[in-house]
Amino acid sequence: MSEKRLKEFEPVFYPKSIAVIGASADERNFGHKWVRALISAGFDGSIYPVSYGGGTIAGLEISPALTSVPGEVDYVIASVSRQSVLGLLDDCIAKKVKAIQFFTAGFSEIGTHQGRELEERMVTKARQGGIRIIGPNCIGIYCPEHRIPLGPSPLGKVGISGSVGFVSQSGGIAAKLVEVGIARGINYSKGVSFGNGIDLDASDFLQYLTADAKTTVIGAYLEGTRDGRRLFDIVKGMTKVKPLVIWKGGRTEVGAQAAMSHTGSLASSAAVWSAMLKQVGAIEAHSLEELSDGLLMFQHLGDWRGSNIAIVGGLADGGGGISVSASDICTETGLNVPPLSSQTREELTKLLGEVGGIFRNPIDVSQAQSRDPLALSRAMRLIVEDPIVELVLVQEDVDVLLSYSSLKEVERINEFFIEFRGGQSKPLVIVLPPGSSEPERLSLERKLSKASIAVFPTMERAAKAIVAVNSWFGFKKGAESSGQPLQ
């Protein structure tokens, strides 16, 4: 992406000032909520509410029109009627606004000639006036670093600033990605819900995130695109540089019909998409869970690559069934669970005893607790030091553990994992299945996640996400060795 084009996105994600059009003093009004959202989030640029009724929002004067706003305006959020969009664009051009996001809906997605025509006129006007459009029918930008919350929720929730970027055609799915990110520690650099994408669309945002130095992995929810060839070329270029996890909505006939009403997208065949994504090395997700799991795993695993994992079960007594079933799930998902070296196995047997012992890999550490406070840490050390092991996957059932140990003891085990993760280079992934001790489990998840340990609710989801990371590195290596130039 050229420097000039990169610069175009500066006022989109880092505007110095934002005007919200249609922000009246009535707090039920979406524009009003949007202003409160920006204030709650702590956006540190100027915020200008605009509505002809006048008044104030949280002490901010409401200007009667965009053209009467006292300062410069980089970015406009428009929560106005369809009838007002063209007039507003004229005002934006007069005010030298750089970009405008339309929350307003009722365009091509309602399937009328008028809707499509209005969109065309908006684009023509914007291009002539040198202004970029996000939307319409969308909730726009999310940029934790710059304290821009996603959408008009007056809570203005903003997660920790990180390195994961996303683009979403759907506002609801973008909103859920943000919530899941806050919950699981997926820390976003920036994201966008772009709705009908009549000007800036998926391709543009994907190109930008690929060029953006603060983004290391990209997620996407797409329903369709106006220019499939362009999207294909862009995705092809970007997957050589950064991993892309992409979820396609409207894969089925029923889904595609809903997508038509939702974002006016003509969905293309699921098989064509899947084949295309595979060809260009993108990771395909089939649900919000797979999308967020992939992003979380890429975030925590960074440049790791490998496929030989060690499975550890039995933090609470009785890790046998977990060891058996985790082995099945990991193996069937495509991971290698190679036997540990005979030396490691002998030392584990010495440490943890023979009765009911499962030490080949999977490793059942059931006996550690009752033996010696240091047995678990010694066992983990032995496992991670075995040269064949590239990643350690632990299943920890917090509710079962708490049936036999105090919360303090369980916390100590997790503190050990955090220390252990920091003390060596092989990644640690922990499966913490939900159950009857959710407050304790969620608190442990937060602590582990902050220490760069990827936490998953099920073994299957953890295994799939590890495979995703691997497959991307495999693709990248293939592309590099085939001599194709990297972008």
Smaller CB separation from its own copies, 204 or 397: 397
Minimum separation from the CB atom of position 313 to its own copies (A)? 8
The only residue of 57, 180, 382, 392 in contact with its own copies, by rule CB under 8 A: 180
- 403 makes contact with its own copies (CB under 8 A): yes
Contacts of 248 (CB under 8 A, 6+ apart): 222, 223, 267, 270, 273, 277, 284
- 354 makes contact with its own copies (CB under 8 A): yes
- 284 makes contact with its own copies (CB under 8 A): no
Beta strand 99-102 with 75-78 is parallel
* Spatial contact of 67 and 95, defined as CB atoms under 8 Å apart: yes
- 29 makes contact with its own copies (CB under 8 A): no
Binding span for its own copies by CB under 8 A among 15-23, 53-61, 120-128, 175-183: 175-183
Smaller CB separation from its own copies, 163 or 327: 327
> How far is it, in rounded angstroms, from Cα 170 to Cα 138?
7
- 361 makes contact with its own copies (CB under 8 A): yes
Ranges within 43-82 binding its own copies (CB under 8 A): none
Minimum separation from the CB atom of position 70 to its own copies (A)? 31
The only residue of 62, 100, 329, 410 in contact with its own copies, by rule CB under 8 A: 329
**Quick one: which of 210, 208, 260, 202 has its CA closest to 231?**
202
Smaller CB separation from its own copies, 69 or 311: 311
Minimum separation from the CB atom of position 88 to its own copies (A)? 18
- 438 makes contact with its own copies (CB under 8 A): yes
The only residue of 170, 203, 344, 414 in contact with its own copies, by rule CB under 8 A: 170
Beta strand 164-168 with 217-222 is parallel
Smaller CB separation from its own copies, 228 or 338: 338
Residue with tokens 């209005």: 118
Ranges within 239-258 binding its own copies (CB under 8 A): 247, 249-255, 257-258
> How far is it, in rounded angstroms, from Cα 385 to Cα 410?
24
Q: How many residues does the chain have?
A: 487
Residue 398 CB neighbours (<10 A): 27
- 478 makes contact with its own copies (CB under 8 A): no
Q: How many residues bind its own copies (CB under 8 A)?
A: 88
Distances (CA, A) of 187 to 46, 153, 180, 296, 451: 25, 19, 10, 8, 13
- 318 makes contact with its own copies (CB under 8 A): yes
Smaller CB separation from its own copies, 66 or 180: 180
Smaller CB separation from its own copies, 69 or 455: 455
- 148 makes contact with its own copies (CB under 8 A): no
Ranges within 101-140 binding its own copies (CB under 8 A): 105-106, 109-110, 137, 139
> How far is it, in rounded angstroms, from Cα 269 to Cα 431?
35
- DSSP letters spanning 94-152: HTT-SEEEE----SGGGT-HHHHHHHHHHHHHHHHHT-EEE-SSS-EEEBGGGTB-SSS
Binding span for its own copies by CB under 8 A among 89-97, 126-134, 177-185, 238-246: 177-185
Minimum separation from the CB atom of position 233 to its own copies (A)? 25
The only residue of 8, 72, 145, 179 in contact with its own copies, by rule CB under 8 A: 179
- DSSP letters spanning 349-370: HHHH-STT---SSSEE-HHHHH
Minimum separation from the CB atom of position 411 to its own copies (A)? 18
Q: Is 166 exposed, middle or buried (0-12, 13-18, 19+ CB in 10 A)?
A: buried
**Cα(first)–Cα(last) distance of the chain, in Å?**
9
Binding span for its own copies by CB under 8 A among 118-126, 299-307, 393-401, 467-475: 393-401
- The sign of the CA dihedral 347, 315, 335, 360 is positive
> How far is it, in rounded angstroms, from Cα 210 to Cα 217?
8
